[in-house]
Structure 1
Amino acid sequence: MLTQEPIYPKPFLKWAGGKTKLIQQYISLFPQKIINYYEPFLGGGAVFFYLYNHYFLSSAFLSDINPELINTYLCIKHDVEAVISLLQQHQANHNQEYYYYMRSYNTENSVERAARLIYLNKTCFNGLYRENSKGEFNVPMGKYKNPQICNPEVLRAVAKALQVAQIEVKPFETVLNYAKSSEDFVYFDPPYHPLSETSNFTAYSRDSFNKDDQIRLKNVCVELAQRGVKLIQSNSDCPFIRELYKDFKIYEIQAARAINSNASKRGKISEVLITI
């Protein structure tokens, strides 16, 4: 009799800069033991799900400044079956007209907002999260023949994993209120510093991440390091970041860049992992 393979939690959103394909290059830098885990730029949550699966995390603090993203995680944590039900409706109704109707659809219902975000994420161009100046999602529909909008088993596994996590809309500096000692591990995945003036891919929402923000983040890393907190940060491999973190350990890794309007500029690119 065949036994069913267990379903492990994994990212349920396509997210710009997602780390699923890079984690194998991170593993050697992860601490041997993690008591409390913090991820202040949550995004798709690939590192959290990896650590949950392999480190059996029992305590995590997950945050992001994107309220729609955090609402989606909270709805999956607390009411996953309602999210699944709505996603199945979206799956059944999906076409071009329906996509643009849902893109313009506004609701105060948190579960409807969560299902809408997942639906748009699975069907929009490149899974790119982008808002206009009014905070409205404005990405055109992608050219997918049969997108998988709802995977109930994965969403249920995600909901189980999220039970160990406190999930909030918070700026990254909030981690200083919680991470205090060597039992704590923080992973930072900020919007990357642009490699050039014409390659600024950081403005995925109304709140872009500029040079001053990078400096603020570095100061947070310094404070955490002085407390003995373990940390890793991923960022672009550029002179500004290397100079900013010259007193930290910097490791170069190889990543694939998929989001570029010029197809010839997609491919392998070096990134850095910053640790203490």
Structure 2
Amino acid sequence: MLPPHFQPNSPRPFLKWAGGKKQLIAQYFPYFPQKFETYYEPFLGGGAVFFYLFRSRSIFQAVLTDINSELINTYCCIRDNVEQLILLLKEHQARHNKDYYYEVRSWNEGTPLQKAARLIYLNKTCFNGLYRENSQGKFNVPVGKYKNPQICHPDLLHSVSAALQLARIEVKPFDAVLDYAKSPQDFVYFDPPYYPLSSTSNFTAYSRYSFNEADQIRLRDIFAKLAERGVRVMLSNSDCPFIRALYSEFKIHEILATRAINSDANKRGKISELLVTSY
């Protein structure tokens, strides 16, 4: 069951993103605060929670940040220059094939708009919609096997652009939220790279910046500092003893998610995840 206020043409994630929360909103929405003035999302990714809140709540301020500069550039281009971006995506759509994919993947330079169009094009045509960078910060996912991928979706991009008009969008590390969120009128949602459940599931490097156990502990400390200020804080992560112990002083809720990315098809399916709230 979808949460209330959902309509097919409403703004929603425009990127396929590993760990995206689009399919979990129906389980999340009972835990969202009823009222808040400013929303902060320090691990923006696909932005599913922001888009849901935009659809379902009265006007609020939003500060959307991520350490991935290519991702943040794309959001800014959609907000500020969506028409030109659509034209570039239509060019990619017309020229798409396997050879063209690898040609575009090899590009290193370009204007902000060209880089945004490149990211969306690669995201829509790469294997499994998986964003991954190597240690040099270069996108390195192979082409996917799609017969007719929808690279340009003008109606969706227009609705996303409208939703982002009031948002502050910046490249920032997650700890920068401490400089902004300071009152009970603030709501912070953390969606970090999940703590690995096993040595073979250690998929934390969506970008060149890894996210290790020390980062998980630092994130918990920031969660606690925000909670002490009265900020309403929510966090998603894997269901494992390490995360349960880290957040044992807060409210922990179990969420049933579908694991979509796994090289072994037999290991894809339902899995328990955690949603932690300070309220």
Q: How would you bin the TM-score normalised by the shorter chain?
A: over 0.9
Question: 1:100 maps to which residue?
Answer: 102
Amino acid at match of 2:156: V
Q: Distance in 2 between matches of 1:255 and 1:201?
A: 17
Secondary structure of the residue aligned to 1:22 is: helix
Question: 2:70 maps to which residue?
Answer: 68
Q: Does 1:58 align with 2:60?
A: yes
Q: Does 1:155 align with 2:119?
A: no
The unaligned stretches of length 5 or more in structure 2 are 1-6
Contact 1:78 1:159 in 2 (8 A): yes
**Offset of residue 69 of structure 1:** 0.2
Task: Report the aligned-residue RMSD.
Answer: 1.0
Question: 1:263 maps to which residue?
Answer: 265
Q: Does 1:254 align with 2:256?
A: yes
Secondary structure of the residue aligned to 2:192 is: coil
Secondary structure of the residue aligned to 1:115 is: helix
What is the correspondence of 1:28-177 to structure 2 with a 5 Å cutoff? 28-177=30-179
TM-score (norm 2): 0.96
Amino acid at match of 1:180: K
Question: 2:14 maps to which residue?
Answer: 12
% identity of equivalent residues: 67
**Offset of residue 6 of structure 1:** 7.7
- Residue-by-residue CA offset, 1:98-123 (whole Å, 9 max, x unaligned): 10100001223000000000000000
Q: Number of residues paired by the alignment?
A: 272
Q: Distance in 2 between matches of 1:104 and 1:88?
A: 20
The unaligned stretches of length 5 or more in structure 1 are none
**Offset of residue 203 of structure 1:** 1.4
Q: Distance in 2 between matches of 1:95 and 1:238?
A: 42
Out of 233, 236, 246, the residue aligned to residue 234 of structure 1 is 236
Q: Distance in 2 between matches of 1:218 and 1:233?
A: 9
Which of structure 1's runs of 4+ aligned residues deviate more than 2 A? none
Contact 1:236 1:272 in 2 (8 A): yes
Contact 2:64 2:169 in 1 (8 A): yes
Q: Distance in 1 between matches of 2:84 and 2:36?
A: 33
**Offset of residue 29 of structure 1:** 0.5
Q: Distance in 2 between matches of 1:74 and 1:39?
A: 15
Contact 2:40 2:64 in 1 (8 A): yes
TM-score (norm 1): 0.97
Contact 1:34 1:57 in 2 (8 A): no
